[in-house]
Amino acid sequence: MKKGILHIILLIIIGGCSFSQSQIDDPGNAPWLPWSDLIQEEKENCATSSYGQGMIVRSIIEKIELQKFNPSFVIVQWSAVQRGYTSNQTDVVEAIVKNREVLFSHYDNEYWSDTVKVGHASNGFDDLTYETYVTAFTHITLLQNYLERKKIPYLFFWGWEQITEKNPLSYKFKELYKTTKVGEWWTPKNHIGFKEWAQEKIGIKADIKGDLHPSTAAHKIFYEKIIKPKIKTLL
């Protein structure tokens, strides 16, 4: 987005789990300052602790379709592939995604034979099965194609490493990275996530002692090196 005679407000929608959840309204909730709170531009943060891919997708699409937000940029931190998502509220996404065949047009039909699962987030972790990976991949593909069709620029990244040899759909995720036109996948070497990348940059300070979440130092370097420069390209 270029500056013109009229001032255009840059609105950023953020999705993710606790790695990206805002602490502004509840600073005592977690012992770190997340990268999302460092963003100075106008933002709407949908990230919520324990959200899996399904709830991340739903929260963002609801903001755009139901609450009529008009974002200039969407940033999504994807969560653990095994974070569950029950299928008790299928009406929401079915009402929003009107043409599922178009959304998934450039992927093999075998992966989209089941209805996309939507509903409430699960705080627990499901077993890592083939179906678990397919479900996560389906949700991510849905949002990516939704944003591409609407021509909304986006940045996707993993909160922590999910593309490993244990992931039977690793090759499909890597193919997905190449299908962007208006968006971008941030994929550092070996397809590690934000947490591992920060660990390589600043060492032990990247982790909170006794906690699996990245430290404030990790969030700050991620914002300064990755998020802030990307936002500047839109101004």
Mean pLDDT for 69-75 is: 96
Burial of 49 (0-12, 13-18, 19+ CB in 10 A): middle
* pTM score of the predicted model: 0.81
pLDDT of residue 165: 82
Whether residue 44 is contained in a domain is answered as: yes
In a domain, 2, yes or no: no
In a domain, 182, yes or no: yes
Contacts of 131 (CB under 8 A, 6+ apart): none
User: Is the residue at 53 inside a domain?
Assistant: yes
Residues 92/58, Cβ–Cβ less than 8 Å: yes
Q: How many CB atoms lie within 10 A of CB 107?
A: 17
Query: Contact 133/80 with Cβ under 8 angstroms?
Result: no
Give the domain CATH number at 38: 3.40.50.1110
Q: How many domains does the chain have?
A: 1
Is position 33 within any domain?
yes
Candidates 10, 30, 35, 60; CA nearest to 159 is 35
Q: Look at residue 6 and tell me if it is in a domain.
A: no
Whether the CB-CB separation of 59 and 15 falls below 8 Å is answered with: yes
- Taking 60 as the threshold, does the pLDDT of residue 106 lie above it? no
Q: Is residue 120 in some structural domain?
A: yes
- Does residue 5 form part of some domain? no
Per-residue confidence (pLDDT) for residue 221, from 0 to 100: 95
pLDDT digits (tens, 9 = 90+) for 124-179: 445 678 888 888 899 999 999 999 999 999 999 999 999 888 888 888 998 999 99
Question: Which residue range forms the structural domain that includes residue 74?
Answer: 11-232
Percent of the chain with pLDDT over 70: 74
Cα–Cα distance measured from residue 195 to residue 173, given in angstroms and rounded to the nearest whole number: 19
